[in-house]
Amino acid sequence: MTLASLAAFAGLCLVLSVTPGPDTFLVLRIALNRPSAGIVAAAGSALGAIAWAGLVGVGLAAILEQSAELFRWVKIAGGLYLLYLGVSSFIKSRKAAKASADGTGDSAPLPYSRLSALGAGALSTLLNPKVGLFYLAVVPQFIPHGGNTMGTSLILGVVVAVIAFAYLSMIAVVAFKAMRWLKRPKVSTVVERVSSGVIAGLGVGVVASGATS
């Protein structure tokens, strides 16, 4: 694989990263009150991307392309997980707002620990079949004939992970700084609930798409 092809792949990954998706909204939601947790969630997403690259390397991810039924259930599982994240985040936001109004809680709740943020980011990517299909459709085009399929796939996976981590980390920091500028409780509550609703909406859409496919 030449440097030119690697640069072309990196450019494609950059375009993919800046396109809003479940990982973007998840990191945004987690980072609103704790940027370090958002960065850890970005790292979890990057690890999930590398795991998908490994699956492609050993040929396991090809099952998603060959079996429409398996793809359907993986898609539904990913949608249900996103729905869970959105609903649980919304419930946590309501509880935090109530505690703040009662004077029993802080105005900046921390609903995600670093460990839970890492797991949420990783699972969000692992349960997103579109990531696997991206690798299946694009990565083989950059693997030289007769080359080390597993090694090349992992190298490309690391490229995806590094670019995604850098972009999502920037999203986490910007989200936190924006919340510091707009620290009014009502604004914070609206942003948290809207981001939770977007995640839940994505989950519902994925489940509906999987159920009708």
Q: Where are the domains of the chain?
A: 23-212
The answer, yes or no, to whether residue 143 has pLDDT greater than 70, is no
pLDDT, tens digit, for every residue of 9-48? 788 778 777 767 788 888 888 887 788 889 999 999 999 9
Q: What is the mean pLDDT of the chain?
A: 76
Place of tokens 């945004």: 28
Buried b (16+ CB within 10 A) or exposed e, 165-181: bebbbebbeebbeebee
Q: Is 59 left (phi over 0), alpha (psi -120 to 50) or beta?
A: left
Name the pTM for this structure: 0.67
Q: Which two tokens stand for residue 98?
A: 């109530």
Amino acid found at 119: G
CB 200 within 8 A of CB 83: yes
- How far is Cα 168 from Cα 16, in angstroms, rounded to an integer? 12
